[in-house]
């Protein structure tokens, strides 16, 4: 087992419970995140195959239920306000992460993708998909009426749209990949910056401000790495091997926005904006 293999279990055991606690899910779903995540994490300590995939299934079923609740909200609320749509999209993306996790543990290779790319796709949807969207949604809630300005809306849509586009680009088109990587990176950095700025204006506690500062610093590192890697891949001159790049990018993202950032919002619990 490598450090890269531990990034998804960390999402299941730490990041997902933080995000689920903020997503407004049913009480039953909030309780199920822990046993489903624990069983899913165990699958990474079993060699890829049917047994590992079977252990990953409970997590996938849990994410499908989360996605169902997200879709029901989409149908009820539509696409406005953007922060609530970002939250709903993140709930759907979590199911995509669960699906790719099952494939990774099964050892299947759809579209001829390498094993590491399947695992990276699972990581992508758990972190850039679910965690980043939840963070974006909570930032919009914290800003309240200030979430209306163009800058936040553009950044939020970049996060929501960049997540699936980056996955499509990796599989099908380098042009789409590089555009999505830059859009997603810029969107997340802007949202994190707005969270820090709001904290600096004294609207949050010191503990929350510290969490947001850590999240923003790590976000600049992780998203900068992602954008730089996309450019180097497009040029055909990789300056960092994929496994090492994934560990650096994934670790910064996991500890920063996905843990410190979400923890900051667990401490503040921003309320949904009434429209």
pLDDT tens column, 180-223 = 878 888 898 899 888 888 877 776 778 888 888 888 888 888 77
pLDDT for 225: 75
Find the helix or strand (DSSP H, E) in which 235 lies. Answer: helix 206-235
Residue 94 has pLDDT above 90, yes or no: yes
pLDDT for 255: 84
> Rounded to the nearest 10 degrees, what angle do helices 27-42 and 50-77 cross at?
150
105 Cβ neighbours under 8 A, 6+ residues apart: 43, 44, 46, 48, 49, 52, 53, 55, 56
Mean pLDDT across the stretch 9-38?
92
In a domain, 16, yes or no: yes
Instruction: Choose between 120 and 229: higher pLDDT.
Output: 120
**Alpha carbon distance 208, 135 (integer Å):** 13
Lowest average pLDDT, out of 35-44, 53-62, 164-173, goes to: 164-173
State the CB neighbour count (10 A cutoff) for residue 171.
15
In a domain, 64, yes or no: yes
Residue holding tokens 């965690």? Answer: 131
In the chain the first and final C-alpha atoms are separated, in Å, by 48
pLDDT for 198: 80
Instruction: Choose between 254 and 46: higher pLDDT.
Output: 46
Instruction: Choose between 131 and 271: higher pLDDT.
Output: 131
In a domain, 275, yes or no: no
Mean pLDDT of the chain: 84
Structure tokens at 17: 């419970």
Structure tokens at 3: 């450090």
Instruction: Choose between 76 and 59: higher pLDDT.
Output: 59
Q: Which domain holds residue 207?
A: 3-268
Residue 44 has pLDDT above 70, yes or no: yes
pLDDT for 32: 93
Question: What total of structural domains would you count in the chain?
Answer: 1
pLDDT for 247: 74
Query: pLDDT-based confidence at 170, cuts 50/70/90?
Result: low
In a domain, 91, yes or no: yes
Q: Judge whether 212 and 204 are in contact, CB under 8 Å.
A: yes
Q: What is the CA radius of gyration of the chain?
A: 17
Distance of CA 68 to the CA centre of its chain: 18
pLDDT for 177: 72
What share of the chain has pLDDT > 70, as a percent? 86
Query: pLDDT-based confidence at 3, cuts 50/70/90?
Result: confident
**Alpha carbon distance 165, 148 (integer Å):** 24
Q: What is the pLDDT of residues 230-240, one digit of tens each?
A: 667 666 666 66
pLDDT for 5: 78
Question: What does the CA dihedral 149, 186, 117, 12 come to, rounded to 10 degrees?
Answer: -60
In a domain, 130, yes or no: yes
Mean pLDDT across the stretch 116-140?
89
**Alpha carbon distance 74, 83 (integer Å):** 12
**Alpha carbon distance 31, 185 (integer Å):** 32
**Alpha carbon distance 91, 208 (integer Å):** 24
Instruction: Choose between 262 and 120: higher pLDDT.
Output: 262
In a domain, 273, yes or no: no
pLDDT for 237: 65
**Alpha carbon distance 44, 56 (integer Å):** 9
In a domain, 100, yes or no: yes
98 Cβ neighbours under 8 A, 6+ residues apart: 56, 59, 60, 62, 63, 64, 122
In a domain, 274, yes or no: no
């Amino acid at each position: 087992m490598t450090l890269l293999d531990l990034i998804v279990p960390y999402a299941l055991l730490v990041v997902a419970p933080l995000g689920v606690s903020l997503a407004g899910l049913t009480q039953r779903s909030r309780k199920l995140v822990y046993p489903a995540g624990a069983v899913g994490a165990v699958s990474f300590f079993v060699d890829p195959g049917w047994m590992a995939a079977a252990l990953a299934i409970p997590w996938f079923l849990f994410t499908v239920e989360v996605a169902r609740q997200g879709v029901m909200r989409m149908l009820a609320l539509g696409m406005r306000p953007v922060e609530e749509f970002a939250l709903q999209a993140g709930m759907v993306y979590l199911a995509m992460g669960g699906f790719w996790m099952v494939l990774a543990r099964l050892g299947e290779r759809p579209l001829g993708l390498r094993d590491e790319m399947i695992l990276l796709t699972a990581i992508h949807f758990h972190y850039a998909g679910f965690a980043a969207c939840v963070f974006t949604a909570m930032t919009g809630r914290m800003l309240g009426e200030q979430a209306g300005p163009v800058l936040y809306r553009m950044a939020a849509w970049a996060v929501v749209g960049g997540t699936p586009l980056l996955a499509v680009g990796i599989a099908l088109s380098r042009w789409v990949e590089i555009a999505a990587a830059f859009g997603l990176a810029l969107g997340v950095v802007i949202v994190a910056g707005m969270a820090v700025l709001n904290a600096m204006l004294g609207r949050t506690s010191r503990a929350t401000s510290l969490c947001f500062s850590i999240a923003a610093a790590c976000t600049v590192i992780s998203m900068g790495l992602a954008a730089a890697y996309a450019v180097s891949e497009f040029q055909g001159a990789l300056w960092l091997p994929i496994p090492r790049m994934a560990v650096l990018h994934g670790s910064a993202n996991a500890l920063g926005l996905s843990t410190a950032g979400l923890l900051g919002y667990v401490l503040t619990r921003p309320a949904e904006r009434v429209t």
